[in-house]
Structure 1
């Protein structure tokens, strides 16, 4: 017997291994095992999976993503023309010669501006500054394309307004500032990126749309796998799970797990950021303290005195640029049609929102507004859905005043930590499910999570949202719809490649154009951030958020004009 065992030992070992694998693959169907036994086999299963590397994520491979912009429902001829016009409207000037060395690129330290009209300035007029961009060897630039932002401000009055930059495409720029208050005002001019850096960002947007990648967990019983997901994935690497939305045609894909079905998907989350995106040459244009968000100083005076308007001066006429609003004494004063009111305490907010249902859809910048209301109105009671705080969905109710607040994130792509797949709803579908009416307020913010994708992807998403907004307003014209725009944020060499203000500005221009002419209202977060003295942040500080809330509530509860007596 002892002589026979060695002879058949490999055979019995193979049978035992086959039986063990069969047992592990079918462990989920065994319902009567003790918890300890199941736990033991679960640990063993995970160990075997780790050894065989069956549950590891497959990182994105390099391939051409240009066809991704054509995914989804085919646009009509009119929509195709609109897309073409939108892309032309945001086209960015290119350098005359590509591949210039760093010493010939824009140097904010050697560039300068000159105030053109420093004398006899009055409220209602405008200040004009001329900008000359120079390179690192002190020579004037011969082409445009630098991304500049500007504001005019008076620190003592906590007053500020955004300026408008006009690119002459020859290294010269003109900045226009409306004069809206009396006192000493000073110019603040910033180069966010050089024209050379913009070319790199444009390349990344078109060629590396997966530089932020996503993942999903798949699970069935005690068997689980995680795979990479994105808008566009290579079919050559492994089979795909297609999660195209049946109503909008919006596409989303994950690599299919090796041992599980596509129907076993549990969640969606941010996978990570691809590294080493730039060449050594390209990285020179992204240096903190040198050419990312650096000030440009005046060659001469930087402060001027603004006098009160004379009787002959007509306010806000013949201006090159009229902003959506400005700050004075720290409060936002709108110039876009709504009369601003101040809601300084919880009772004022409650009175305005009484009988209203407020639906907030989008990213964390609109969730921030939801959180502000919850924190400042103690009457709101939140319902727990066991949702992560930073993800949602969230709902709060003030039952005595009949107020409902709801927040839900927009559909993929979204870079949240973990969202249940069942909670991934597209905004357009949510809008189609609403009744609407005078008691309904819609607030949408969607921009930041699209910064890594070609602009066509964002246009397609906005097209679906716009269609849903039109349908909603057609069935209930009294519904109030507000769009929160993009805003500037803090940048360093790494974050610039994923979340640059240039990406945000491009998306913001598209959003404004696509919703122009509709009965929707903007909460101009871009200008409210740019005009404020606070440093740029993705999530603005309470001083700016409170002004946004006042803007929103001023639309919900407008100032009633007194009727003239006949």
Structure 2
């Protein structure tokens, strides 16, 4: 009895260890079985994807892969990179002390006397400004390399004009504000669409597709708020991502919005809604009643410019195909604009990057039958502070430019 009791006692004492060992073996076997199941599912999915895959080399499928560049695109990329390269400057110590960099507070600008008698300026004259740049120690800078962005404005007249100076070059000015209205200096004559009825009449019978980031989503939101008769369909979409759609049944026009594919900084994006603009344009029938509007830039600002170039090349191919099959389609591009550079934002963004994007976009779409809304200069020329999401008065002017392309004034 004592022996049996001792055996029972010893068995009961080791029971937890035995149970733990049994559970460990069971879990291990279960994991092996689950891995086999995953492998089987992967093989099934791979077979399905392979069978359903397209052989179109132009179509994007993966978010983390690059299409190989053709020799023509590679040459274009090299020429563009050379054109936007930072100009050579004298060698500086590395790392350069912060107090030896340019300081706006110490720097000055002076409007030089006019060339007329008495140094006067008359309306229509070109102002000459001398800018002297100093570092944080008050020492004059001895080398270039600064991007200077300026605007001349008068709040009383609601007037403003942009100016950009980049070491050795200057951008042309596409327009100016007067009485709060953007007036283009070339191309289309900008009309005013101040009432919902004017917008409705312009968009009557049209299909308008907006693609891009939140800066183009602002246009959708503006039209949705401004037009009382449109009905927005609840597609249960994420606010930042879309897709969104609104319809005016009486005037028979449709407006849609969808965000572009990666890179994007939205936190919550369903994988099924990650769409490349090029792929979306490829799916558009097009025609005289179709308007395609897109913008790409804000989410690319902190990435290498090569990524931006290749994305635009891809979109250009889709635009060329669209205009070949439906020449009457109107394609409008909203250029990137400047943003407020807080300390946090300045770590990964700069006005220089935005200017590079502007040059790249213009170079890639040069010669194509597309229209531009110059968001960079329209935001720069306005007296309101820089903001990646321009305020309503600027958005209204951008919509006027867009609708002026859709419904140009006769004889313009």
TM normalised by structure 2 equals: 0.84
User: Which of 74, 85, 92 is the equivalent residue of 1:80?
Assistant: 74
Q: In structure 1, how many angstroms separate the alpha carbons of the residues matched to 2:331 and 2:158?
A: 30
Q: Distance in 1 between matches of 2:126 and 2:324?
A: 41
Q: What's the counterpart of residue 469 of structure 1?
A: 319
Q: How far apart are the structure 2 equivalents of 1:443 and 1:25?
A: 52
Q: Does 1:149 align with 2:143?
A: no
Equivalent position of 2:3 in the other structure: none
Q: Does 1:7 align with 2:3?
A: no
- Summarize the Cα distance change of 1:123–1:81 in structure 2 as closer, same or farther, 3 Å threshold: farther
State the alpha-carbon separation in 2 of the partners of residues 356 and 167 from structure 1: 45
Structure 1 residue aligned with 2:23:
16
- Please give the residue correspondences for 1:232-271 in structure 2 after superposition, counting only pairs within 5 Å: none
Match of 2:130 in 1: 130
Contact 1:113 1:129 in 2 (8 A): yes
**Residue in 1 that maps onto 2:110:** 114
Give the CA deviation at 1:128. 1.6
The corresponding residue for 2:57 is none
Q: CA deviation at 1:463?
A: 0.4
Q: Give the count of matched residue pairs.
A: 370
Instruction: Quote the RMSD (CA, aligned, Å).
Output: 2.2
Secondary structure in 2 matching 1:360: strand
Q: Which runs of 5+ in 1 are unaligned?
A: 28-69, 169-173, 176-320
Q: 1:96 maps to which residue? A: 91
Q: Provide the residue aligned with 1:458 in structure 2.
A: 308
Closer, same or farther: CA 22–501 of 1 in aligned 2, 3 Å: farther
Map of 1:32-111 to 2, 5 A cutoff? 72-93=66-87, 94-99=89-94, 100-111=96-107
SS state at 1:106 partner: coil
1:38-92 deviations in Å (ceiling 9; x for gaps): xxxxxxxxxxxxxxxxxxxxxxxxxxxxxxxx96222222222211111111111
Cα shift readout 1:276-325 (whole Å, capped 9, x = no counterpart): xxxxxxxxxxxxxxxxxxxxxxxxxxxxxxxxxxxxxxxxxxxxx64111
Contact 1:448 1:499 in 2 (8 A): no
SS of match in other structure, 2:361: helix
1:109 Cα deviation (Å)?
A: 2.0
Q: Are residues 98 and 79 of structure 1, via their aligned partners in 2, closer, same or farther at CA, if it must alter by over 3 Å?
A: farther
CA–CA separation in structure 2 for the residues paired with 1:490 and 1:74: 36
Q: 1:341 to 1:95 in 2, by over 3 A?
A: same
Closer, same or farther: CA 346–143 of 1 in aligned 2, 3 Å: same
| Cα displacement (A) at 1:431 | 0.5
Equivalent in 495, 515, 531 of residue 381 of structure 2: 531
Whole-Å Cα distance in 2 between the matches of residues 421 and 25 of structure 1? 29
| Contact map agreement 1:95 1:145 (CA 8 A) in 2 | no
Alignment of 1:481-496 (within 5 A): 481-496=331-346
Specify the SS of the correspondent of 1:358. strand
Q: How does 1:62-461 map to 2 (within 5 A)?
A: 72-93=66-87, 94-99=89-94, 100-118=96-114, 119-168=119-168, 322-461=172-311
Give the match's secondary structure for 1:5. helix
Deviation at residue 19 of structure 1 after TM alignment: 4.0
Give TM-score scaled by structure 1 length: 0.62
- Aligned partners of 1:559 and 1:386: how far apart in 2? 38
Whole-angstrom CA distance in 1 between matches of 2:379 and 2:29: 60
Kept in 2, the 8 Å contact 1:96–1:143? The answer is no
Larger-Rg structure: 2
Indicate the SS of the match to 1:494: helix
CA-to-aligned-CA distance 1:536-559 (integer Å, 9 cap, x gap)? 111000010000011100110000
Q: For the Cα contact (< 8 Å) 2:145–2:166, is it kept in 1? A: no
Which structure is higher in helix share?
Answer: 2
Change (3 A) 1:26 1:523: farther
Deviations 1:364-398 (A, max 9, x none): 10011111100111211111221112221111111
Q: 1:26 to 1:395 in 2, by over 3 A?
A: farther
